[in-house]
A and B are shown apart, each in its own frame.
Chain A
Amino acid sequence: QKEVEQDPGPLSVPEGAIVSLNCTYSNSAFQYFMWYRQYSRKGPELLMYTYSSGNKEDGRFTAQVDKSSKYISLFIRDSQPSDSATYLCAMTGMDSSYKLIFGSGTRLLVRP
């Protein structure tokens, strides 16, 4: 079993829709949770960062962490065609020597 599970998609939504992307994990030591966005043939770029449980909002993006359920989510409001990309969750804990563990990524397509 992988430490981090993520549905690969693809997830296809119409422009303006609310998108929900999710990851589950098994290691209860994870404390830092991140979402990266990766456009085709580019390197991943950090989108959102959350420490421990709770919500964090940045513009159209909201990251949620539920440590009791070992479940994290990224919500995108008013989705745009430019949001079409692969979204990777990543996480680490203080006992992980700062190694990021990534999900396999969810491919999102926002249709105009």
Chain B
Amino acid sequence: DAGITQSPRHKVTETGTPVTLRCHQTENHRYMYWYRQDPGHGLRLIHYSYGVKDTDKGEVSDGYSVSRSKTEDFLLTLESATSSQTSVYFCAISTGTGRRNTEAFFGQGTRLTVV
């Protein structure tokens, strides 16, 4: 394993509640990403970070926010959960060193169900 821990691994929450997912890495990698995976859509980028306090939006960022106050932690917040946010969420990290930056290591995923 690449030293990535996602928490929680499973969560059921109610519509309209805020939810925060945590990604913790022990690799000191510069880049961190949040993806969601849904049938028929593959992995879609929500937000990513290229350093502490440096974040940017991905292709499906509406309804999500992120924060990175330390190199090792990248938090994803669903501001007001909706049923369309029921998904499997993956955190990934990469080194940011030249060509090898394209190699991403993934966490085990968080299964989120919004009821």
Given contacts A99-B45, A104-B40, A104-B41, contact A49 B103 (CB under 8 A): yes
Chain B contact residues, majority secondary structure: strand
The interface residues of chain B lying within 8 Å CB-to-CB of A8 are 40
Inter-chain contact A104/B42, CB cutoff 8 Å: yes
The interface residues of chain A lying within 8 Å CB-to-CB of B35 are 102
The interface residues of chain A lying within 8 Å CB-to-CB of B33 are 99-100
Is B64 at the interface (CB under 8 A from chain A)?
no
- Chain B interface size band reads 20 to 34
Given contacts A43-B109, A44-B43, A88-B43, contact A98 B56 (CB under 8 A): no
The interface residues of chain A lying within 8 Å CB-to-CB of B92 are 43
Residue positions of A touching B, CB distance < 8 A: 6, 8, 32, 34, 41-46, 49, 51, 88, 90, 92, 97-105
Inter-chain contact B102/A34, CB cutoff 8 Å: yes
Q: 1/0 contact trace for B41-65 toward A, CB 8 Å? A: 1111100101000001010000000
Residue positions of B touching A, CB distance < 8 A: 31, 33, 35, 40-45, 48, 50, 56, 58, 90, 92, 94, 96, 99, 101-109
Contact of A43 among B41, B58, B106 (CB under 8 A): B106
Give bound CA distance, A105 to B90, whole Å: 15
Inter-chain contact B108/A42, CB cutoff 8 Å: yes
Inter-chain contact B40/A44, CB cutoff 8 Å: no
B90 to nearest A CB, angstroms? 6
Inter-chain contact B102/A103, CB cutoff 8 Å: no
Closest to A3 in B: B59
Interface centre among A34, A92, A102 (most CB of B within 10 A): A102
Given contacts A43-B90, A43-B108, A43-B109, contact A98 B42 (CB under 8 A): no
Closest to B44 in A: A102
Contact of A99 among B58, B90, B109 (CB under 8 A): B58
The interface residues of chain B lying within 8 Å CB-to-CB of A49 are 102-103
B101 to nearest A CB, angstroms? 5
